[in-house]
Amino acid sequence: MPQKVRIALDAMGGDHGPSVVVPGAEIALIRHPDSEFILFGDSALIEPLLVAHPRLKAASRVVHTDVAVKMDDKPSQALRNGRWKSSMWLALDAVKKGEADVAVSAGNTGALMAMARFNLRMMAGIERPAIAALWPTLRGESIVLDVGASIGADAPHLIDLAAMGGAMARVLFDLERPTVGLLNIGVEEVKGLEAVREAGRLLREEPLPHLDYVGYVEGDDIGKGTVDVVVTEGFAGNIALKTAEGTARQLAGYLRSAMTRTWRAKIGYLFAREAFRTLRDKMDPRKANGGVFLGLNGVVIKSHGGTDPEGFAAAVDMGYDMVRYELLRKIGDSLTRDARSAPRAIGGAAS
Amino acid sequence: MPQKVRIALDAMGGDHGPSVVVPGAEIALIRHPDSEFILFGDSALIEPLLVAHPRLKAASRVVHTDVAVKMDDKPSQALRNGRWKSSMWLALDAVKKGEADVAVSAGNTGALMAMARFNLRMMAGIERPAIAALWPTLRGESIVLDVGASIGADAPHLIDLAAMGGAMARVLFDLERPTVGLLNIGVEEVKGLEAVREAGRLLREEPLPHLDYVGYVEGDDIGKGTVDVVVTEGFAGNIALKTAEGTARQLAGYLRSAMTRTWRAKIGYLFAREAFRTLRDKMDPRKANGGVFLGLNGVVIKSHGGTDPEGFAAAVDMGYDMVRYELLRKIGDSLTRDARSAPRAIGGAAS
């Protein structure tokens, strides 16, 4: 039997802290019984919750700390007040020290990113980190990155994103040469797109060996699943992700109200209950919760701060998969290979 | 009886040209019988279609031109080849000359924007144009701008967008002081957001008299209808819009397949048919088709290029409403008022 997957949890992260993290971890544990957990945080809050979740209790240990990064702390504040001692830092540190294989936090993104960079450091050859999201599409799933690690991107950074996203798709979707598109808008000759155009030119002229660059894609291509990997800078990527989640919630709301408005609709709902259940799962943005931090020497998963146990469990599942598939090592390997084969494309000067 | 609304149509615009424009215009005419149309384009293509659409034929005249802007023409090419003579230019020119109240085109956005700026010119005090979309939300509708007229925005441009969007909301939604939010991502202290932060500071410290600035909003706030007006630069705005449309189509696809998978679901569908019809309308991105060009001396509506007659009709409806509510004059008025009351906020130097 292979070794267990060791998961470090920032139990204080997110809007609801341990009251979401503990039940969420138990849901994930039931799905992946070969997991074990270290929960970092206020043991006075965590321990009573563990009593109510005996399966998790049996598969975890608690490391107490009084210090928690607040959801509205700025990254600099978080580093100043929380380094060495906050639940977020300690979860990352467990990965650094090899005591855990992955850290999962629903804490504030900026602080988590700053601490992860500071503690785990960037992979060789990668300048800036990225957050990759797994996006459900009509064809299955795609990877979209960056969804908020940094804002703005020059051509070399976009190419780093393509390489990292391509590597992740290769491993996660088991593809030889995943298709990659650059997110763009359908307007030509508008100022401000130089970086996207330059990245497109480089990817065409000096192709990366392990991916199939297909050109520009637009916002509506994401849901279609036009490409396996959608590359964009973090501001637009984050807005795309949140907008899609908002739209899914909005349409689920329409559906609910349509199905309860008349007696005919209510009867229809009763007949189609099973179908609606499947549909609800597909429309539920919680199921796709969990962003993977890429470019760091360690696996870190960011869960939405406002999620519930089901959503947090999805983020833990993603961490589990990343470890089981050895994503980190494989991404590292293929980045090195890509860098060797197309040095100018990777290391090219900013446009 | 008030004067008719005179609508100039670029009959050659869009992926399908007259075969969508003509039936689309007839749908809009049936909804607004006090409309009349001028169709610019190839009369050999348009006239036979009009024979099949006698109502539209009775309410329109055709102005023949051989020249059409192509969907993939660059704006500079379009201007070079299509100025003075293309169907797109002539539709805009009809507005300029006062022969039409509004121009509607499904042609390429960049070309339409370039020709509109060149021919109609910018309103006094506005530097760059914007495209505003009417976005269906859980609370009704919101205005989102800019959805693709220009890329990147400094603080003064974001404030122009707030003023124009606020004026449009005041008129369209009949509100005294519409709420306005700046689209942002939930990460603090990340480089690249200076313009958004600076605009937020200015809107707080020197509030515009006709709007209620409520702070930052995120992508998922758009569908919730958190604010009446969502302000963003055009790249992120376009990606948000297209992503939401893509998500709506994706979920409609899930719904269709869920409702046909089992006999129980099919029976449920039959019972709830009416509810599904309402729902389909609400989920249909075609119903929200039509972007309003703001900041120009004239009303111009951009329809999606790939839309069908129903979608094109929605864009024509929007043009009709803009004229009937005298949006242009009222936006102009309130921009002037805003500029008088908060000169520094409107005319402030770029950050």
Domain harbouring A153, CATH code: 3.40.718.10
Which of A82, A101, A120 is at the close of a domain? A120
**Radius of gyration over every alpha carbon of chain B, rounded to an integer in angstroms:** 21
Considering only A106-115, A328-337, B175-184, which range has the smallest mean pLDDT? Answer: A328-337
Closest partner CB to A274 (pick from B72, B220, B264): B264
Q: Which residues pair with B300 in a beta bridge?
A: B103, B293
Q: Which residues pair with B296 in a beta bridge?
A: B122
Token pair, residue A170, equals 């290769």
- Partners of residue B191 in chain A, C-beta under 8 Å: 150-152
How many contacts, defined by CB atoms under 8 Å, are there between A and B? 241
Closest partner CB to A250 (pick from B137, B192, B243): B137
Domain assignment present for residue A151? The answer is yes
Q: Find the residue in A nearest to B261 (Cα).
A: A275
Instruction: Report how far residue A226's alpha carbon sits from residue B233's, in angstroms, rounded to the nearest whole number.
Output: 25
Same structural domain for residues A143 and A115?
Answer: no
Instruction: Report how far residue A214's alpha carbon sits from residue B164's, in angstroms, rounded to the nearest whole number.
Output: 38
pLDDT in tens, B200-220: 999 999 888 889 999 999 999
CB contact at 8 A, A129 and A296: yes
Same structural domain for residues A171 and A262?
Answer: yes
Q: CB A297: neighbour CB atoms within 10 A? A: 16
Q: Nearest-5° angle of CA B199, CA B205, CA B210? A: 80
Interchain pair A220, B249: CB under 8 A: yes
Same structural domain for residues A107 and A172?
Answer: no
Interchain pair B243, A240: CB under 8 A: yes
Q: Tell me what pLDDT residue A256 has.
A: 83
Min distance A347 CA to chain B CA atoms (Å): 22
Domain assignment present for residue A314? The answer is no
Relative to beta strand B229-231, strand B212-217 is unpaired
Helix/strand/coil (H/E/C) assignment for every residue in chain B: CCCCEEEEEECCCCCCCHHHHHHHHHHHHHHCCCEEEEEEECHHHHHHHHHHCHHHHHCEEEEECCCCCCCCCCHHHHHHHHCCCCHHHHHHHHHHCCCCCEEEECCCHHHHHHHHHHHHCECCCCCCCEEEEEEEECCEEEEEECCCCCCCCCHHHHHHHHHHHHHHHHHHCCCCCCEEEEECCCCCCCCCCHHHHHHHHHHHHCCCCCCEEEEEECHHHHHHCCCCEEECCHHHHHHHHHHHHHHHHHHHHHHHHHHHCCHHHHHHHHHCHHHHHHHHHHHCHHHHCCEEEECECCEEEECCCCCCHHHHHHHHHHHHHHHHCCHHHHHHHHHHHHHHHCHHHHHCCCC
Q: Tell me what pLDDT residue A348 has.
A: 31
Instruction: Report how far residue A111's alpha carbon sits from residue A247's, in angstroms, rounded to the nearest whole number.
Output: 28
Which of A89, A120, A151 is at the close of a domain? A120
Instruction: Report how far residue A293's alpha carbon sits from residue A252's, in angstroms, rounded to the nearest whole number.
Output: 29
Min distance B278 CA to chain A CA atoms (Å): 7
Farthest-apart Cα atoms in chain A, separation: 65
Nearest Cα residue to A210 out of A324, A347, A325, A342: A342
Counting as low any pLDDT under 50, the low residues of chain B are 1, 340-351
Residue A170: which domain range? 128-287+328-351
Residue A258 reports pLDDT greater than 50: yes
Instruction: Report how far residue A169's alpha carbon sits from residue A189's, in angstroms, rounded to the nearest whole number.
Output: 31
Closest partner CB to A220 (pick from B223, B246, B264): B246
Same structural domain for residues A75 and A174?
Answer: no
CB contact at 8 A, B231 and B180: yes
Instruction: Report how far residue B342's alpha carbon sits from residue A121's, in angstroms, rounded to the nearest whole number.
Output: 47
Interchain pair B186, A250: CB under 8 A: no
Closest partner CB to B258 (pick from A74, A234, A279): A279
Domain assignment present for residue A219? The answer is yes
Same structural domain for residues A107 and A137?
Answer: no
Find all residues with CB under 8 Å of A268, minimum gap 6, and list them: A259, B267, B268, B269, B270, B271, B272, B273, B275
Q: Find the residue in A nearest to B152 (Cα).
A: A192
Which range scores top for mean pLDDT: A172-176, A187-191, A306-310?
A306-310
Closest partner CB to A224 (pick from B113, B138, B246): B246
Q: Of A267 and B87, which is predicted with more confidence?
A: B87
Same structural domain for residues A105 and A167?
Answer: no
Domain assignment present for residue A337? The answer is yes
- Partners of residue A261 in chain B, C-beta under 8 Å: 275
Q: Tell me what pLDDT residue B187 has.
A: 58
Token pair, residue A309, equals 């146990």
Q: Which of A127, A251, A302, A304 to mutate to test the interface with B (most CBs of B within 10 A)?
A: A251
Task: Kindly state the average pLDDT of the residues A213-230.
Answer: 95
Farthest-apart Cα atoms in chain B, separation: 65
Closest partner CB to A240 (pick from B191, B239, B279): B239
- Partners of residue B284 in chain A, C-beta under 8 Å: none
pLDDT in tens, B135-182: 999 999 999 999 988 888 999 999 999 999 998 998 888 899 999 999
Q: Tell me what pLDDT residue B146 has.
A: 95
Q: Find the residue in B nearest to A265 (Cα).
A: B272
> Which pTM was predicted?
0.87
Min distance A310 CA to chain B CA atoms (Å): 19
Q: Domain total for chain A?
A: 2
Task: Kindly state the average pLDDT of the residues A77-97.
Answer: 96
Residue A277 reports pLDDT greater than 70: yes
- Partners of residue B274 in chain A, C-beta under 8 Å: 262, 264-265
Same structural domain for residues A161 and A88?
Answer: no
Q: Tell me what pLDDT residue B192 has.
A: 63
Same structural domain for residues A114 and A147?
Answer: no
Find all residues with CB under 8 Å of A279, minimum gap 6, and list them: A255, B254, B255, B258
Same structural domain for residues A88 and A15?
Answer: yes
Interchain pair A189, B234: CB under 8 A: no
Domain assignment present for residue A300? The answer is no
Same structural domain for residues A65 and A3?
Answer: yes
- Partners of residue A190 in chain B, C-beta under 8 Å: 110, 150-151, 234
Rounded percentage of chain A residues whose pLDDT exceeds 90: 63
Q: Tell me what pLDDT residue A266 has.
A: 87
Q: Tell me what pLDDT residue B188 has.
A: 56
Please report, for residues B9, B106, B303, the alpha-carbon distance to residue B313 in angstroms, rounded to integers and kept in the order given. 11, 11, 9
Domain assignment present for residue A142? The answer is yes
Which of A88, A120, A152 is at the close of a domain? A120
Interchain pair B242, A218: CB under 8 A: yes
Q: Tell me what pLDDT residue B253 has.
A: 85
Same structural domain for residues A20 and A92?
Answer: yes
Closest partner CB to B250 (pick from A138, A241, A249): A138
Task: Kindly state the average pLDDT of the residues A225-232.
Answer: 97
Q: Which of B187, B231, B266 to mutate to test the interface with A (most CBs of A within 10 A)?
A: B187
Interchain pair B253, A279: CB under 8 A: no
The helix (H) or strand (E) run that includes residue A252 is helix A234-258
Task: Kindly state the average pLDDT of the residues A135-152.
Answer: 91
Instruction: Report how far residue A269's alpha carbon sits from residue A43's, in angstroms, rounded to the nearest whole number.
Output: 45
Residue A347 reports pLDDT greater than 50: no
Which range scores top for mean pLDDT: A204-213, A281-290, B286-295?
A204-213
Q: Tell me what pLDDT residue A338 has.
A: 57
Q: Find the residue in B nearest to A261 (Cα).
A: B275
Q: Of B63 and A171, which is predicted with more confidence?
A: B63
Instruction: Report how far residue A343's alpha carbon sits from residue B13's, in angstroms, rounded to the nearest whole number.
Output: 44
Closest partner CB to B193 (pick from A151, A191, A262): A151
Domain assignment present for residue A317? The answer is no
CA B202 to chain centre: 27
The DSSP call for residue A226 is: -
CB contact at 8 A, B121 and B86: no
Domain assignment present for residue A19? The answer is yes
Min distance B257 CA to chain A CA atoms (Å): 9
Interchain pair A251, B276: CB under 8 A: no
Min distance B151 CA to chain A CA atoms (Å): 6
Same structural domain for residues A339 and A190?
Answer: yes
Q: Which of A271, A282, A293 to mutate to test the interface with B (most CBs of B within 10 A)?
A: A271
